Every structure is written in structure tokens, then in C-alpha cells.
Structure 1
């Protein structure tokens, strides 16, 4: 089946998630820098989560640009990914409202880990449809980043119980790893002549 409806639906959901997150930002109580400083935990949590949602949107776009069709299983795998991403605004708000307390920071890591696993499962369902000699298979290659991320999430979740900021540092490292553009998919898409 065509991938167009899956792309359109996913784009809409991700746009709504970003909108929900920005609506959780409240204006400072005053016009001074110190008033803004009171909102700093919320702003920092928002920035980190916005970066994560952006990373998933970019990777989702590139992933689907390499495939020609999707299966029914792929549709459910995509819904699974969107489910975990839909929890990001909730968990971001909880984490920021509690000033990065231990349990919310650990729960944030669990949501990020689950989203990473869901993305990996989506990628696997698309690989089954496209085959081992497909553009997607070539682009993914050994997927070092994809294998490193869950390890860093689990490490971050565990370290949160030692010091919550160590957990946050692990989550930031994963974001930075993915924030640097991944040339694999773009290189393969460029050589294949895709306009997506």
C-alpha cells in the first residue's frame, strides 16, 4: 500500500505534539530576568523535548523517503512509535513541573527508550517490505547510532537514581548524537535521485 497517508498522518500528529508542548509554556510572572529564570526548568525541558521530536520527525521523513510502500504491520509499528512520542509532552511537563525530580527524569528516559525501540521496530517492518537489497537497507547499514542510543538511555535511566543530572546528561548526549545530521540516508537518497 502507499506510504502517503502514513506520512501525512504522522506529520499531523508530530505537529500537534509540538503545539501541545508549546502551550505548556507559561509566561513569566513579571518582566525581569529573574522572573524568566523561574521558568528555566520548563524552558530547558521544552528545548530538549522539541529537539527530540524534531529528530524523530527528520528521521521518520528520511526513513519513509527510502521506501516505496508500507504494509499493515508497518502501519501498526508507526502507531506504536506515535504512541510513545505522544507521551513526550506529558512527561516533559511532569519533569519540568517537579524541577527534574528523580522519578520523572527516569520516566522521561523510559519514554525516550520506548520511542527508540518503536522506531527500530518500524524500521524493521519497512525493511521486511522493501527487502535486503533495498535503498533502505543500504542506507541503514550497520546503524551504530541506532544501537548506541538504547544503551545510553538505559545508562541514563540507571544513573538518574544516582544523580538526576547524570541521567539528563545521557539524554542530552543521545540528542547531540542524532542532532548531527546522519549522512547515510541523505547520501543514499541523493544517489538514488529522490526529491523527497
Structure 2
């Protein structure tokens, strides 16, 4: 079977498997407190906080990737390789999550965390563009895609700004990373609901 005729179901299933492994790796990196009581637990709160942020970002990408795959029924070579690039970037998040925790949120590790966020967002942007190209070819491009593309660009700008800020004030940069996650969290699920509502009246199935 030619790749051009393959269903996006295969791409989505493979990506889901990789994302499941990524989340598993992050969970396995969580630390058990050595001390007792609240004082011991407080020692691992920074680890839990960066894990929560990274988990939120992976979850947001999973939701948006799911919706992105639903917008076209067939894959293309650009989509496949853009997806692989995005998964590669996403797979580095556990490493940088561990690194920033190990270095106690210092300036360099916090800046590097922003770099991987830019890389992941950039490769996802390439995937989005390849899907948009496919949509335009099939005449299924939607205005909602343009709005999400603008939000995606704003997120990348926030990350890019946070990197140099991290070298001076890591905590401010971390707040910017959290702001991006909050920006996407509710709209991601809201978009899912809207897409479902748009699909059912048309009787579209995958």
C-alpha cells in the first residue's frame, strides 16, 4: 500500500504509543522523599512541580495531535517525517525534565527547558503545516485552523522570550512556561468539543 493512501489512524496509533512511553519514563523519574513528614515531602515538591508542567505539555500535545489527525483522512510523506521530528523532540522532554530538577531550576537548565519547548513546538508547527497543505488539497481547510496557528505562534514567541529571561531570572521564565500551558489547556479541550459537534452533523467517520 502506498504511503499516500494510508490512513491517519496508523500515524495516530504510532504516536499514541510513543507518547505513552514518554509519560511512563517521566513517571519512573519521580523521586520518593528520603525524609519523613512534611519536611521530607517538601524536598520533592520541585520535582513534582516540573513533572506536572511537563506532563501537562505532553497531554496538551496529545489532545491537539488527536484533533490534527482528524482533519485529514490520508497521510503524506511530509506529514510522516514532520510527525517523526515532533515525536523525537517530544521524547527529549523527560530528559530535560530530569535535568532541570537535578540542577535545582538553575538559570542554564531552565533556559534549556525552554529550548526543548521551542524545538517541540517548532516541529509540531511543521506537522501542522503539512496537514494544512493536505487539507487545502482536499478542500477541507477550516478557519479554526488559522486561529490555532496564531495561538501556536504566540506560544513559540513566549518560549523564545523565556529563554534569555531564564538566564537572569529562572523563576520568571518558569512562570512563562506555565502561562503557555494554561493558555492551551482549556482551549485544547474546547476545540475537541467543537470539532466533535462539527463532525456529527455531517456524518463524517474515520
TM-score when normalising by structure 1: 0.93
Give the paired residue count: 196
Alignment match of 1:151 (pick from 153, 157, 173): 157
Moved more, 118-127 or 25-34: 25-34
- Structure 2 contact 71–135 (Cα < 8 Å) conserved: no
What does residue 3 of structure 2 align with? Answer: none
Alignment CA distance shift 1:195-1:177 (3 Å) = farther
Give 1:155-174 correspondences, 5 Å limit. 155-174=161-180
Counterpart of 1:126 in structure 2 is 131
Structure 2 alignment gaps of length 5 or more = 1-5
Map of 1:55-74 to 2, 5 A cutoff? 55-74=60-79
Cα distance, 1:73 vs structure 2: 1.4
Match of 2:194 in 1: 187
Q: 2: CA distance between counterparts of 1:115 and 1:50? A: 14
Contact 1:67–1:136 (Cα < 8 Å) also in 2 = no
Q: Which residue of 1 aligns with 2:18?
A: 13
> Which region of structure 1 is more displaced relative to structure 2, 44-53 or 24-33?
24-33
Could you tell me how far 1:188 is from its partner in structure 2? 3.8
For the Cα contact (< 8 Å) 2:82–2:126, is it kept in 1?
yes
Q: Which moved more, 1:125-134 or 1:58-67?
A: 125-134
| Equivalent of 2:47 in 42, 63, 71 | 42
Mark the runs of 5 or more structure 1 residues left unpaired by the alignment: none
Residues 185, 29 of structure 1: alpha-carbon distance in 2 compared, 3 angstrom cutoff: closer
1:71-111: per-residue Cα shift (whole Å, max 9, x none)? 01110000000011000000000001111011111010010
RMSD: 1.7
